[in-house]
Structure 1
């Protein structure tokens, strides 16, 4: 079967200026592009994020995944992370955000997932759109009207998350499914990037650096220059070939295209 979506990727990670250990982990190999930000201390966070990546790495080489594939990997990852906590590795936990290649009627789709406060964005037609919604205390306060977005950026509770894999959390992941378009640029990152650089600057870098690896390196360098107070991880996936109809691939190097579709959240499955 010919793939409905082919991507070009870039990735970069750095422990930051204040952390001796990098508890972030990532996977940037088709059909999976994800970032996990570990927590728990005493290497528990590093092992938790690595556990999630190991489960999703089993899908490398597949043409596309289904929602059930993602849910199975998440369930296995949750069991593995919980085992870390019960085997003396502290209160292990991790966030997870990212996108996998999916297929609907032979056409390429993005299936985005999120649990915690790592993020997935889409750049298209000059617009940077945050696909995922943070599972955090400050996000809940923003939604209730108790905080503005500007106030949340410096609020002392900004690092408190409300869902995770492990860390005694039972919260489910959220999912979004939407058609891939030629020129889509998907950005997946830990909060070490978004806590240092505003979205407007992220968009400028993504538009300026057309090659995905250079863009990933530039984003991490910018976050380090801005303070680098946390681990920083960036994964970029560019849609370079997309099936316009079953069995037909279109390819382009032009990232400046019109978008007429928007992500929609899915709960029951890919449909």
Structure 2
């Protein structure tokens, strides 16, 4: 089996049925995949999300390690603050970010996932969908604490209030995960415009329907818009065609927070 990860990936985005502008941004390269959900409306949320994905564009080669990915996310935060300093009318702009990048750890290929806010990274292996990232939002914290059920969290009036984002000084902690490649796995990166409209089982069904990531991405976005489209919706679908086997004796995942 190959010692590198071979993938095909594609993105799709839509402003939805309610919002006049699309404040999401997306990045798809050979080895870096990012979605960002801008916040701030008139305070230029679309500028913040664009700055964030541009900062990750500099990783357009397999990163030396997961720390480099986190460093670029923190650099994105500083770039947003620098833009506000130059353009005071942008004060208040911010963005979530979820990313996935190929990295090398001790000479072996790995995936590094990062997250700030409530945009998500999902992994699909053997037909089973799991959320890699952890939402940074008020309702997610209440759900993790046992004060809300998953069903209650989906309709809670505070479900759109994030507790971490890019555009703050000091920078909010960036969560990161290092994943061992698995044969035939797929990844989905998405803004909450998808997850607020579709249940995980529907997402899983669409994510494994065929092998063309562009067709899958379009189907996911189309389903979210059809279900209500109350927010901008953006997805990246990553389909692996070959991957190194997991190393014997190693955990499937390592989680860090900086």
Counterpart-to-counterpart distance in 2, 1:158 and 1:169: 24
Counterparts in 2 of 1:226 and 1:261: CA distance versus 1, 3 Å: farther
Measured after TM superposition, the shift of residue 107 of structure 1 is: 2.7
Counterpart-to-counterpart distance in 1, 2:170 and 2:154: 24
1:10 aligns with 2:6: no
Measured after TM superposition, the shift of residue 117 of structure 1 is: 0.2
Measured after TM superposition, the shift of residue 3 of structure 1 is: 6.5
Counterpart for residue 76 of structure 2: 77
Q: Compare 30-39 and 189-198 and name the one that shifted more.
A: 30-39
Counterparts in 2 of 1:70 and 1:239: CA distance versus 1, 3 Å: same
1:265 aligns with 2:252: no
Counterpart for residue 158 of structure 1: 159
1:51 aligns with 2:51: yes
1:96 aligns with 2:88: no
Deviation per CA, 1:93-144: give whole Å up to 9, x if none.
Answer: 0001121111223332111100000000000011000001100000110111
1:113 aligns with 2:103: no
Deviation per CA, 1:32-62: give whole Å up to 9, x if none.
Answer: 11101000112511000000111111222x1
Counterpart for residue 256 of structure 1: none
Is 1:107–1:242's contact at 8 Å kept on the other side of the alignment? Answer: no
Measured after TM superposition, the shift of residue 223 of structure 1 is: 0.3
Residues 1-271 of structure 1: pairs in structure 2 closer than 5 A: 4-42=4-42, 44-60=44-60, 62-86=61-85, 87-88=87-88, 89-167=90-168, 170-244=171-245, 262-267=252-257
Q: Compare 220-229 and 39-48 and name the one that shifted more.
A: 39-48
Counterpart-to-counterpart distance in 2, 1:69 and 1:96: 16
Counterpart-to-counterpart distance in 2, 1:68 and 1:214: 33
Q: Compare 111-120 and 203-212 and name the one that shifted more.
A: 203-212
Q: Compare 219-228 and 235-244 and name the one that shifted more.
A: 235-244
Measured after TM superposition, the shift of residue 22 of structure 1 is: 0.7
Q: Compare 215-224 and 100-109 and name the one that shifted more.
A: 100-109
The number of aligned residues is 253
Is 1:102–1:108's contact at 8 Å kept on the other side of the alignment? Answer: yes
Counterpart-to-counterpart distance in 2, 1:50 and 1:43: 14
Counterparts in 2 of 1:37 and 1:230: CA distance versus 1, 3 Å: same
Is 1:138–1:158's contact at 8 Å kept on the other side of the alignment? Answer: yes
Counterpart-to-counterpart distance in 1, 2:181 and 2:255: 15
Counterpart-to-counterpart distance in 1, 2:170 and 2:71: 17
Counterpart-to-counterpart distance in 2, 1:9 and 1:143: 32
**Partner secondary structure for residue 129 of structure 2:** strand
Which runs of 5 or more structure 2 residues have no equivalent in the other structure?
none
TM-score scaled by structure 2? 0.92
**Partner secondary structure for residue 216 of structure 1:** helix
Counterpart-to-counterpart distance in 1, 2:66 and 2:254: 14
TM-score scaled by structure 1? 0.87
Runs of 4+, deviation exceeding 6 Å: none
CA RMSD of aligned residues (A): 2.0
Measured after TM superposition, the shift of residue 244 of structure 1 is: 4.5
Q: Compare 207-216 and 230-239 and name the one that shifted more.
A: 207-216
